[in-house]
Chain A
Amino acid sequence: MNGFMSKEQWKKRLNRRILVNRIFYILFFAATTIGLIFLAMLLYRVLTQGLGCLNMDFIKGFPAPYPDEAGIYAGIVGSIYLIAIVAPVSLVLGVSTAIYLEEYAPKNRISRFIQSNIQNLAGVPSIVFGLLGLTFFVYMMGFGYSLLAGGLTMSLLVLPIIVVAAQEAIRSVPNELKEASYGMGATKWQTIVRVVLPASVPGILTGSILALSRAIGETAPLLIVGAAAAIYTLPDSVFGPYTAMPIQIYSWISRPGEEWPLVAAAGIIVLLAVLLLMNAVAVIIRNKFQKRY
């Protein structure tokens, strides 16, 4: 028996290994659920605090110096206006970039550089985009603290996300479809417009909606490019002052007093509801129109 285990030793060891396996199974599961528990607590907390303030007056009201008069209407409208600027700008630029990289780009150093540049741009903190917007759009272009400056800054922020999403959607179009189109005598551009893009639209839309919902929840860059906290009119032009939902929420959080957190929580409910709606639309589009080839 020298150098070997006895049967008892072996059994003991096996039992211990099985026990360790079981313990870690439970630990890993617990670790996974901690994030979920946190999410549940966050939602519960926001709902219990905010529902009391949430009514039609809140949704239709403007910012006010008193908690019971404050409303988020200017924020909702401002966020919609922002998206009305961000969506076309970032979609046109993003989808064109994706088409170029997937369909036209030669395999050379420049293309690789553009690709890795987009990857790095996606990792730049949003607040740095805010600084770019402040220098370039607010001061150099002379847009001031306007809706246009905010919208263009946000467009740059979501651009890399949309490019990556569109690239994935375009890449998933099978080669047979393209080859069939070429075989019928279609040119490259005709193939892209009539075959590749229609097939990848659901993927592009899904990714873009998720990117835009990121833009709606983003606060820091808008703070930098001067979205106003207190505003009593809706923006009348793209050069006018504006606010957005997260800006309103932030300004309520930073006010002293017992009641402002409740108002902030009500604002958060509205913001989360909008995000939930957008995500639901994205999921529906994906499930309904996405073909698997």
Chain B
Amino acid sequence: MESAGSLKKKPLDVQEKIRENKEKQKMFRKLEKLVPVFLFLSAAFSVMTTLGILFTLLKEAVGFFSVVPVKEFFFNTSWKPWSGSFGVLPLITGTLLITFIAISVALPLGIAAAIFLSEYANSRVRKVIKPTLEVLAGIPTVVYGFFALTFVTPILEKFIPELQIFNALSAGIVVGIMIIPMVASLSEDAMNAVPNSLREGALAMGSTKFEVAMKVVLPAAFSGVVASVVLAISRAIGETMIVTIAAGQSPNFTFDPTMSIQTLTAFIVQGTSGDTTYGSTIYYSVYAVGITLFVFTLAMNLLAQYIARRFREEY
């Protein structure tokens, strides 16, 4: 009896199941269509962020340039915002000075480290040195700033007595150390991409390892190495805390590394701190400086991408 009853019920159950299943399928199909939309919106969010950056910088900078003429901003050689003189050149020379010192440190050391890691070191040595070098990139910049001010500057003072307490040299050197891992690891990636057959060919012709590195690997990886240096320049231009702490807050129109200077980034920190009121000329000037900085770094990033793509050697 019981089994007969359940047999009678079963066809009904199945029909219901089929219907349920169809509903479920419909829901799934809806979900399948909705999910990509949601995901696309998330992806679009990053574009919105870029637009947001451009919009805010432009909007406030336009406010600035309605008060201060563009010509004064770019050609006046004195930056004294609190007494009404807005010539951005001292900030730009300060930034360039820091960047130049930093690259003078990071270029030789970074590329040498890349050659050592990719051409000379065996895999065991590389496994130890590479992550340790990357630790340098993970240390907060405020720590570097502290180190530059309390350790590097006193040491430099022993060799250069006329060095000011806040100076471009010490900050620039430490920024350079900070970007070594960037140059080293990106350059090494480019060198690793050079096929071994090229190296073996040169070695078979009797080259030393040094000759292989200089005459085969480096030229073959050249675009990658240059791109890594350009990216490092961009990082040095945008670096804030080290220069704010160790290079000072005095916008001098100079290329003397022993002097205290102010970079674009350091002024942004100074100009937004505490007593600047919303809507004042100084508040707007921060954005004019900000967009200058943004254009500099964006140009460098695009240049790096262009070099990496345009001059890449395909093997």
Contacts and interface: CB of A to CB of B under 8 A. Distances in A.
Interface of A: 17-18, 20-21, 24-25, 27-29, 31-32, 34-36, 38-39, 41-42, 45-46, 49, 92-93, 96-97, 99-101, 104-105, 113-114, 116-121, 123-132, 134-136, 139, 156, 159-160, 163, 187-190, 210, 213-214, 216-220, 223-224, 246, 249-250, 253-254, 261, 264-265, 268, 271-272, 275, 279
A92 B38 CA distance: 11
Given A28-B112, A96-B39, A131-B57, A125 B238 contact: yes
Nearest to A246: B142
Interface string B233-272: 0100111110011000000000000000000010011001
A35 B180 contact: yes
A216 B298 CA distance: 25
B49 A32 contact: no
Query: Chain A contact residues: over half helix, strand or loop, or mixed?
Result: helix
Contact of A275 (B140, B208, B231, B286): B140
A31 B49 CA distance: 39
A130 to B, nearest CB: 8
Nearest to B60: A135
12 contacts: A29-B120, A31-B108, A35-B109, A93-B42, A100-B43, A116-B305, A119-B301, A121-B46, A127-B293, A132-B57, A217-B140, A223-B272
Interface stretch (B11-19, B64-72, B128-136): B128-136
Contacts of A214: 138
Contact of A246 (B52, B138, B140, B238): B140
B136 A38 contact: yes
B50 interface: yes
A118 B273 contact: no
Contact of A35 (B43, B50, B136): B136
B181 A42 contact: no
Contacts of A268: 142-143, 146
Contacts of B45: 93, 97, 159
What bracket does the count of chain B residues touching chain A fall in?
A: 35 or more
Query: Chain B contact residues: over half helix, strand or loop, or mixed?
Result: helix
A18 B268 contact: no
Contact of B234 (A29, A104, A123, A190): A123
A25 B302 CA distance: 34
Given A219-B142, A224-B268, A132 B112 contact: no
A220 B243 CA distance: 11
A106 to B, nearest CB: 10
A38 B210 CA distance: 26
A187 B145 CA distance: 53
A36 B132 contact: yes
Contact of A264 (B35, B146, B265): B146
Contacts of A104: 36, 39-40
Contacts of A250: 142, 145, 241, 245
